[in-house]
Amino acid sequence: MHNQVYTIAKVCSEFGCTHAIICPGSRSAPLLYAFKQETNITCISVIDERSAGFIALGIAQQTGKPVVLICTSGTALLNFFPAIAEAKYQQVPLIVLSADRPPEMLNQQDGQMIMQKGVYGKHVNSSHELMCEEDGSSDLLLTQRIVQTALVETMEPGNNGPVHVNVPLREPLYPQALSIKTPALAVFDNISNTALPFSLKDLDQFAQAFKQAKKIILVLGQHNTDIELETILARFSKLEQVVLLADVVSNQHLQSVVPNFDAVVQYASPELLHTIEPDMVISSGGPLVSKALKIWLKSIKPQWHFRISEELKPINTYGNLTHFIRSSLPVLLTRFLETAHSIEPITESYSKQWEQLGEKALSLQQALFSQQKWSEPFAVSSVLKAIPTGSILHIGNSGSIRFASWLGLNGFNGKVFGNRGTSGIEGSVSTAIGAAIANPSAIHFLICGDLSFLYDTNAWWLSKLPQNLKIVVLNNVGGKIFEWIEGPSRFPEHLNFFTTPHHRNIAQTLATFGIQCTTCKSLDAYNLALSSFIQSKQTHVLELVFDTEINLSAIQQFKSIQLTNS
């Protein structure tokens, strides 16, 4: 047996990896045998590599530890690519171990072989390749050092992400008997994300700008749950001149006086937006869902814009960045509040102004819902209210995440996740399944569209599915977001190339996997089904089907609510 492969598994176990997702294949057989010997690592078999990548992503989101992805040679590892890209931009630690044929066979018409070395390019933190040795002659210390380095690189402070290790293997791949012959490993320290230092000059510049500014917006993008950040934001956001705009997947929306800020900016007239324009912007975290907020922030020129983040280089999404402080946000804000002994009160509360606008936007939404009979925004609003406190919510992309953002999560109290690194529709179901596997004590809910759901059907192809997952599918029969966003809707004769009309029966599809599905085509049917769906003790899908014309009209009305100065 290839002892270097046992070394790979041992290093991953010693580093703290708890899960390995293994896709079937022959060339990867030694990796399978090795990881199955590690009792501290749970091995899960997933047939479809694309789904496997997102299941690994979901597990890593929940555990905060690198998840091992194993595949055979050839195009198998290319199918990991969507999840690898998402992990890169979402900063989720994954380590891909791709089995390969010996390097001298590359481009020699040998079967199941592509140019695997460095195949992910700039979409991984780093790439490595192990030596291809004869069985029994491997340099185990070199293998250990390479794999340790790769694992550390998945957890770089401010730059978590995927790493690829290519593993060329010679035959024989299948041993006569299993035996563990790994050497004792040298002790190494597990890497951790520690707060980065910042200079007194940085702190002074921030404090001086804060002292002069009268209207301050703190924009927090995608972020994992963070108790330290939650605590400091609870103090910082109470300042009258500060407005926290916490993204729908920032996991800090409950700290904001205006969780539905996306709707406020979407609905506000140009004159109203001018009255709430900030002097100072503080930005942190990952990507934003709100397109309206991004457009608005790009159109203004605040006197100060501080980017506070652990990333290696400053991100200047809005094109008006003036200062970059490489630090964790809670560390900097804590230090600032410790030194800012007296923050002068302001005559007019900027925070109160935003809070009133948020309340008005919510009131107008509720008034509209009282008139609408059955639509996607109404259904998302209702589901968000119904999800029990403490549950974990996953939101698919396209229309689903937009409705949730405009509603400000409607008071939902729990953790929120979404694949907003690259914002693709693929992998939403697989990611939620991975998260449910990694965190079995919580109930997980996913809200997604019909295309996102059907695109990820192979997610259900597992030998043992989690029973703590519930999915709400918004079925508008095929990507109808393109009928209400600007651009495609101007040319209705071409809409079929944007939308994806289909006649797939979701309930029948799920029946082949033994998954319970309840289909509702009206508000009355939904009201009857909701309670049993929420209380179900097994994986359950609630399919909500909408009349195309009524639904489209309701969405247009929902999007077109007007907020003015009056």
- pLDDT attached to residue 193: 46
Confidence of residue 343 (pLDDT cuts 50, 70, 90): low
212 and 159 belong to one structural domain? no
- Residues 229 and 238: their CA atoms lie apart, in Å, by 14
- pLDDT attached to residue 493: 59
Task: Give the list of residues 6+ apart from residue 534 with CB closer than 8 angstroms, or none.
Answer: 386, 387, 388, 470
383 and 529 belong to one structural domain? yes
Instruction: Report the number of distinct structural domains present in the chain.
Output: 3
Instruction: Establish if 9 belongs to a structural domain.
Output: yes
Q: At what angle do helices 376-386 and 548-559 cross, to 10 degrees?
A: 80
- Judged by DSSP in three states, 331 sits in helix
466 and 545 belong to one structural domain? yes
408 and 527 belong to one structural domain? yes
426 and 540 belong to one structural domain? yes
548 and 405 belong to one structural domain? yes
Domain with 94 in it: 3-168
Judged by phi (left if over 0) then psi (alpha if -120 to 50, else beta), residue 64 lies in left
Burial 431-453 (b: 16+ CB within 10 A, else e): bbbbbbbbbeebbbbbbbbbbbb
Task: Give the list of residues 6+ apart from residue 550 with CB closer than 8 angstroms, or none.
Answer: 373, 374, 375
Of 332, 356, 380, the one marking the end of a domain is: 356
524 and 402 belong to one structural domain? yes
Of 168, 192, 209, the one marking the end of a domain is: 168
Q: Which among 179, 108, 186 has a CA at the least distance from the CA of 141? A: 186
Instruction: Establish if 408 belongs to a structural domain.
Output: yes
Question: What is the gyration radius of the CA atoms in the chain, in angstroms?
Answer: 25
Q: Is the pLDDT at 342 greater than 90, yes or no?
A: no
Burial 164-180 (b: 16+ CB within 10 A, else e): bbbbbbeeebeeeeeee
Confidence of residue 235 (pLDDT cuts 50, 70, 90): very high
- pLDDT attached to residue 113: 75
Q: Is the pLDDT at 303 greater than 90, yes or no?
A: yes
Q: Is the pLDDT at 32 greater than 80, yes or no?
A: yes
13 and 148 belong to one structural domain? yes
Of 322, 356, 390, the one marking the end of a domain is: 356
Q: DSSP letters of 275-286?
A: HT--SEEEEESS
Instruction: Establish if 364 belongs to a structural domain.
Output: no
Q: Is the pLDDT at 115 greater than 90, yes or no?
A: no
What does the mean pLDDT of the chain come to?
90
Q: Is the pLDDT at 190 greater than 70, yes or no?
A: no
394 and 541 belong to one structural domain? yes
Q: Is the pLDDT at 237 greater than 70, yes or no?
A: yes
- pLDDT attached to residue 398: 87
Structure tokens that stand for 229 in this block: 């950040």
Predicted confidence (pLDDT) per residue in 58-101, tens digit: 999 999 999 999 999 999 999 999 999 999 999 999 999 999 98
Length of the chain: 566
120 and 150 belong to one structural domain? yes
Q: DSSP letters of 137-160?
A: ---HHHHHHHHHHHHHHHEETTEE
Report the number of secondary-structure helices (H) and strands (E) in the chain. Answer: 19, 19
Q: Mean pLDDT throughout 437-442?
A: 96
Q: Is the pLDDT at 242 greater than 80, yes or no?
A: yes
Instruction: Establish if 194 belongs to a structural domain.
Output: no
251 and 335 belong to one structural domain? yes
406 and 545 belong to one structural domain? yes
Q: Is the pLDDT at 341 greater than 80, yes or no?
A: no
Q: Mean pLDDT throughout 407-426?
A: 93
Q: Is the pLDDT at 229 greater than 70, yes or no?
A: yes
Q: Which among 87, 98, 105, 92 has a CA at the least distance from the CA of 128? A: 98
Please report, for the domain that includes residue 398, its CATH number.
Answer: 3.40.50.970
Please report, for the domain that includes residue 280, its CATH number.
Answer: 3.40.50.1220
